[in-house]
Structure 1
Amino acid sequence: MILCVLFTNRAGNVLLERFHGLPAEERLHWRSFLVKLTAENLKTARDDEVFVASHKSVFIVYTVIGDICIFAVGKEVYDELALMEVLNAVTSSVKEVCRKDPSERLFLEKYGKVCLCLDEIISQGALEHTDKDRIRRLTRLKPLAE
């Protein structure tokens, strides 16, 4: 299951989060844990540089694009490789929505569209779509047959 997809700025402030299968009382713990765990790597990270971590039976994959840090957390079948697919789909969709590497301001301006993309990529904690063109068509709410 994909437990969490989290977007933060470089300072660690949460911009967008989606949790699946985690009780509300554990979410605050995960937010702070991810930011603390990755802070050192993200200080010097280049755009699209991907990092991998694990904690007990949970896998974490994260990257930076522009001013935005993106985290994907999973367990069971969503190991590092599966989370890389999730992260690739999310980053390519965010780049397409923002038309470039996003600043925090641009990301927040496109917040609604990013949420739609995220909903098409991940459904109920499972990877749904990874094809960038298909995601774009689904978020435009047009039939796929076009």
Structure 2
Amino acid sequence: MLLALLIANSEGNILVERFNGVPAEERLHWRSFLVKLGADNLKGVKNEELLVACHKSVYIVYTVLGDVSIFAVGKDEYDELALAEAIFVINSAVKDVCGKPPTERLFLDKYGKICLCLDEIVWKFFLFVLKGLLENMDKDRIKRLVRLKPPTEV
């Protein structure tokens, strides 16, 4: 199960978060733990270089993309390899929306479209990984699905 997806700025402020199956009372713990993990380990890391951690029998894969940090937390079949695949797709989608690795300002300017992409990726990830069909996490398909065109033009 993919437990959490968080995106934070370089100061540790959370810009986007998605939790699945995490009780509300545990979310604060995960937020603070992931922000501290990033603050301790992401200084000097290159864009899209993946780091892996394990905490309370869950896997954490995290990286930096421009001025934002991306964290994916999973357990069971969502091991470090599946989470790395998810982070790769998220990085590609954010870069496509922003046109380059984002600054915090650019990320916030494109916030709505990034959230649409993340919802599509995470929903697809939940639906298809359980069936073993990771090829459905195609960035071109995601771009088509979030074009924001009226239904008559689709």
Residue 67 of structure 1 corresponds to which residue in structure 2?
67
Give the SS at the match of 1:22. coil
Letter in 2 for 1:130: M
Residue of structure 2 equivalent to 1:136: 143
Per-residue displacement from partner, 1:83-125 (whole Å, max 9, x unpaired)?
A: 0111011010000000001000000010000010011111287
Structure with the higher fraction of residues in strand conformation: 1
TM-score normalised by length of structure 2: 0.87
1:20–1:124 CA contact under 8 A, matched in 2:
no
Post-superposition, which runs of at least 4 consecutive aligned residues in structure 1 deviate over 3 A?
A: none
CA distance in 2, matches of 1:49, 1:111: 23
Distance in 2 (alpha carbons) for counterparts of 1:85 and 1:127: 15
Q: Which letter does structure 1 place at the counterpart of 2:123?
A: S
State the AA in 1 paired with 2:94.
V
Q: Give the distance between the partners of 1:98 and 1:38, measured in 2 at CA.
A: 22
Q: In structure 2, what is the equivalent of residue 54 of structure 1?
A: 54
| Pairing 1:1-146 to 2, within 5 Å after superposition | 1-123=1-123, 126=126, 128=128, 129-140=136-147
Deviations 1:10-65 (A, max 9, x none): 11110110111111111111000111123222112111111000113100000001
In structure 2, C-alpha distance between the alignment counterparts of 1:49 and 1:75, rounded to whole Å: 21
The answer (yes or no) to whether the contact 1:66–1:102 under 8 Å persists in 2 is yes
Q: Which amino acid aligns with 2:104?
A: E
Q: Which runs of 5+ in 1 are unaligned?
A: none
128-137 or 85-94, larger mean C-alpha shift = 128-137
Q: Which residue identity is paired with 2:22?
A: L
Calculate percent identity across the aligned residue pairs: 64
Instruction: Give the structure with the larger helix fraction.
Output: 2
- How many positions carry a matched residue from both structures? 144
**Closer, same or farther: CA 30–11 of 1 in aligned 2, 3 Å:** same
TM-score (norm 1): 0.92
Greater RCO, 1 or 2 (C-alpha within 8 Å, sep 6+):
1
Give 1:71's aligned amino acid: F
In terms of mean alpha carbon deviation, does 25-34 or 36-45 score higher?
36-45
Residue type of the partner of 2:44? T
Pairwise CA distance, 1:66: 0.6
| 2:9–2:104 Cα contact (<8 Å) kept | yes
